[in-house]
Structure 1
Amino acid sequence: MKLFMATLSTETNTFSPMPTAMSGFEEFYLRHGTATQDSPNLMTEALHLWRRRAEAMGWEVTESLAAIAEPAGPTIASTYDALRGEILSDLEQASGADVILLQLHGAMVAQHVEDCEGDILQAVRSLCPDAIIGVSLDLHCHLTEDMLSAADLIVTFKEYPHDDAAPRARELFDLALRMTREEIRPVSGMFDCRMLGLYLTKEGEMQEVVREMHALEAQPGILSVSLAHGFPWADVADVGTRVLVITDNDAELAARTAENFGKAFFARRDAVNASYPDLDTALDRAMTSTDGPIVLADMGDNSGAGAPGDATFVLREVLKRGLSDVAAGFYWDPVVLRICKDAGRGARLSLRLGGKVGPDSGDPVDIDAEVVHVASGLGQHLGEGLEPLGTMVWLRLANGVDLLVNDLRTQVYHPEAFEQMGIRLATKKLVVVKSTFHFYAPFRAITTRVIQAATPGGASPDFTTFRYLGPGSECWPFVDDPFDTAGNKLSNTHDLDQPAV
């Protein structure tokens, strides 16, 4: 047996003014067939697992591209063409494969291709019409007809924050292996829930939703159940939450199960979606607590959802209120970082921080700061994987306000990002993290209270602040009952044993 595998991952915020260029992949993660020689990260864990499993059975393994970029705006056409072309060229040079497994994101948009993953899968299918093709996706994906018609197997992460990349990669490999042995004949059903939302799976109603998905997979004939949350900051044709059910040669069961689960999920829309306080309310609540540290998430400036990472709205209000004993990060400002790095530790500088990309960043903030520490080559954990941090500087302002500034756009995942720079979070009253959900579990372990704030910015959780021109405007929460408005065109059944080419 011959296995071919690759990774291509970025999440496209179509409202972002920052294009995703090759430099975005080069500075974050770009390997040409050598990713399994590195320590795994979120999007390469699958490659490590697949290689181990395949080689243990004596399969021949061809490892192709592993390219990951922090979310931003649409990918430059030439960049996408080059990355796509490398995968296809490697597949041709390998003379095809019996099994092709890809770790993609599912929400990548290029300047000239709205559905990049569907485009890649269709091209792979054209090259290898008889191969078993499986793809693992981030749950913030857009499930599309091109993906379903080209792939035999699609599995998405179930957990947000994503700590189940390895189990989902294992699930995909197991299903593909069963196909090679002709034990199963997968068919799928998909249901469009017509919802835009953010669903944290670690507590409340969403924990029960995930349990129900696993329970369905234990029923006879059902092979896999995926809830694609969708990536809501994308004005594309297939935006929104969708359910995908794969069964063993039972199209009616797949369609019925997906529709029943999807309709039940829509009925729980208020329970699975949280409401978030605005910035002033969030800070008011934080300041009423006598215990520390209180963790406040600056959700609107989460670079992991395509925001710039240099917004100053929270910092300006912290300084205006004269708050003390505060840690905040990360502020993406390569200009400030360069100045601080050149000046060195101990330097006292007047700096103009953040607010550089556009209106969603706010205005720059003028600060007087001491350069306490500068470091490069650090990382922070996201699950088992280690994510890069670039070069970082710790700036100390008056009143014990400590800021982390870096030159690599990335969100906050773990307290270790602050601690390894020397900032002791236990001494702080307030810790501000530019993130949405991925920070949650590690920070919840060090605090009595987490406040997620609907701050202004390019990744605001208030979707009504964005202007959707496509089908997103016909989804809940823009429409109370999108099924009456848009029509129930939601059950699509595919025999994935006979893919369209």
Structure 2
Amino acid sequence: MKVLIARLNHETNTFSPVATPLASFDPQYGADGYRAARGSRTAAGAFIDLAEAAGAEIVVPVIAGANPSGRVAAAAYTHLTDTIVEAAVGCDAVLLDLHGAMVAENSDDGEGDLLARLRQILPDAPIAVALDLHGNITQALIDHADIAVSFKTYPHIDMYETGEHAGRLLFEMAAKRIRPVIAWRRPPLMTHTLCSRTDEGAMARAVASAKAAERDGMLAVSVLAGFGLADIAAPCLCVIVVGNGDQQAAEAVADRIAAQIWEEREGFVYTSAPLEVSIAEAARAAQGEEGKGSARRPVLLLDHGDNCMSGGTCDNMAVLHAALARGLDGIAVGPVCDPEAVAALIAAGVGAAVTLPVGDKVAMPQLGVFPEPRPLSGTVAAISDGEYVISGPTYTGQRIRMGRTVLLDTGAAQVIVTETPQEHWDLGIFTHIGVDPHAARFLLLKSRMYCRPVFVPIAKAVVECDGEGVTSSRYEKFPFRKVDRPVFPLDRDTAWQGVDWSRP
């Protein structure tokens, strides 16, 4: 059995000004791709383990993934998908580690268009895909995949397990032990990422229903929250049910879970507080901690409006300047992505007193935001290569390379400035350059969710701050033009009882 295994991951924020060329994917081809994926805690890593256990011949055309950003460059999308499609000739089965929310300059449905091309070449071969929980699913993906399974956790810690699930079903299908059928529903519901965490609320209940349906006999049931910051036809939540030969039973499960979600649709909508209200809340939380006379724990300020893992520029300074204007101090912040400032600070050298503009240099023209850089004054406290190793639980053991990194101490704030946008996977983002996050009064993180397993346990309180970035939860800021209407919550006042969404 000859099995194609590939990874092509990108969550596209079509409003983001951050470019996505081929280099952003750091593609690894052939044997290099195989080595990069084998043993990794990814779906592709699970695919390889399963294929090797089955004694299959493995073809790995490419392993590629980029941080969320703007539309994928047409040349990059064409090259990467051509690489996969050309390698599929002569294969008996296909296992794909995809995100599900890729939008390219030349494709609004990156994954669906790829699968259509693969199905044309391999009309009878089993095709299984592992998907991110935030995928925007289309009819094309459903039509051309035999098996589709998504993560059940957010923050995501089950990438490998999802791949194992999808891959196991593919090999059972190939052996004719199961006969997969797919049913799906896509309510007109654009969720907010902050309401897609799987440990609480409506999303937790939806995932629990999916797991219960699997225990009751469905081969796989997935709830995908979707990714709303994409101006495509339907950046919406969906339910995918893989049944075993009984289409009617699968349809009934999809109907039931979709109806449950729609009934709880308000639970998938996040309402942002004004930034000044959030900063005042953080100030009160810090005072409450100090008033107890206990050991200090930091208050987390989560700048989810400029989140790296949703396509943020990571250079918007609205939250920091609001905190400084309020008189907050003891702030550890970063990383702020500003290669120009990094170069200037390194040229000044450790110990130098400097005044220079930091951040607010990347315009967001689709949102009509053209920030004016404001100066910070302080001392260059440290310079590093920007590398550390993640201790877990997400991407455990992976080495992070942030580019050259500088610590600017302004007195009230210790500002980490990097050459690239970064997510807060680990305390190492601070400790690698000599900042003790436990000692801060406030930790200002450009993060929504991935920071939480590591940073919440050391924190006194968590305050979500919606600044002026391109990953804001205020959908009213975004000029959606392609989205099919009506859709909730953009059209909250629609008479929904008259709208039939029972089929996508």
Deviations 1:349-395 (A, max 9, x none): 22211111115473212012322222223344561343634224242
What letter corresponds to residue 303 of structure 2 in structure 1? D
For residues 182 and 160 of structure 1, the distance between their equivalents in structure 2, rounded to whole angstroms, comes to 33
Which runs of structure 2 are paired with 1:85-484 in the superposition (5 Å)? 85-92=82-89, 96-197=90-191, 198=193, 199-220=196-217, 222-289=218-285, 290=287, 291=289, 292-359=297-364, 360=369, 362-376=371-385, 377-380=387-390, 381=392, 383-385=394-396, 386=398, 388-471=400-483, 473-480=485-492, 484=496
In the TM superposition, residue 455 of structure 1 has moved relative to its aligned partner by: 2.2
TM-score normalised by length of structure 1: 0.91
2:129 partner letter = V
Kindly state the Cα deviation for residue 15 of structure 1 after the two structures are TM-superposed: 1.4
Q: CA contact under 8 A between 2:189 and 2:488: conserved in structure 1?
A: yes
- Find the residue that maps to 1:378 and give its secondary structure: strand
Change (3 A) 1:311 1:143: same
In the alignment, residue 316 of structure 1 is paired with which amino acid?
A: H
Larger CA deviation: 331-340 vs 357-366:
357-366
Distance in 1 (alpha carbons) for counterparts of 2:137 and 2:118: 17
Change (3 A) 1:106 1:18: same
Q: Which has the higher contact order (CA 8 A, sep 6+)?
A: 1
Residue identity in the other structure for 1:367: L
- Map of 1:35 onto structure 2: 33
Check conservation: 1:190, 1:490, Cα contact below 8 A: no
Contact residue 246 and residue 254 of structure 1 kept, 8 A:
yes
**Secondary structure of 2:219's partner?**
strand
Q: Give the TM-score normalised by structure 2.
A: 0.91
Summarize the Cα distance change of 1:142–1:390 in structure 2 as closer, same or farther, 3 Å threshold: same
- Aligned equivalents of 1:337, 1:140: Cα separation in 2: 33
Cα shift at 1:322: 2.8
Per-residue displacement from partner, 1:94-140 (whole Å, max 9, x unpaired)? xx222210111111111121101011111111121221101111111
C-alpha separation in 1, matches of 2:500 and 2:278 = 39
Contact 1:255 1:491 in 2 (8 A): no
- The change in CA–CA distance for 1:486 and 1:18 in structure 2 (over 3 A counts) is farther
User: Could you say what the CA RMSD is over the residues aligned between the two structures, in angstroms?
Assistant: 2.1
Q: Deviations for 1:445-492, whole angstroms, at most 9, x for unmatched residues? A: 111211112222101011122121233552111223667388324326
Alpha-carbon distance in 2 for matches of 1:458, 1:128: 40
One of 52, 69, 80 as aligned partner of 1:55 = 52
In structure 2, C-alpha distance between the alignment counterparts of 1:426 and 1:484, rounded to whole Å: 49
Distance in 2, Cα, partners of 1:473 & 1:357: 31
AA of the residue aligned to 2:263: A
Aligned AA for 1:127?
Answer: I
% identical aligned pairs: 28
* Aligned residues of 2:271 and 2:474 also touching (Cα < 8 A): no
How many residue pairs were aligned? 484
Distance in 2, matches of 1:316 and 1:131, equals: 56
Q: Which residues of 2 match residues 483-494 of structure 1 at below 5 A? A: 484=496, 487-491=499-503
> Residues 223-243 of structure 1: CA distance to partner in whole angstroms, max 9, x if unpaired?
111111111001101211111
Counterpart of 2:185 in structure 1: which amino acid?
Answer: F
What CA deviation, in whole Å up to 9, does each residue of 1:375-421 have, x standing for no partner? Answer: 22334456134363422424233334111111122222332211222
Which runs of 5 or more structure 1 residues have no equivalent in the other structure? Answer: 493-501
User: What SS does the corresponding residue of 1:399 show, helix, strand or coil?
Assistant: coil
Alpha carbons of structure 1 residues 395 and 343: separation in structure 2 relative to 1, 3 Å:
same
Against the structure 1 CA distance between its residues 453 and 400, is the aligned structure 2 distance closer, same or farther, given a 3 Å change threshold? Answer: closer
What stretches of structure 2 of length at least 5 have no aligned partner? 290-296
Work out the CA distance in 2 between the residues paired with 1:402 and 1:225: 45
What is the aligned partner in structure 2 of residue 499 from structure 1? Answer: none
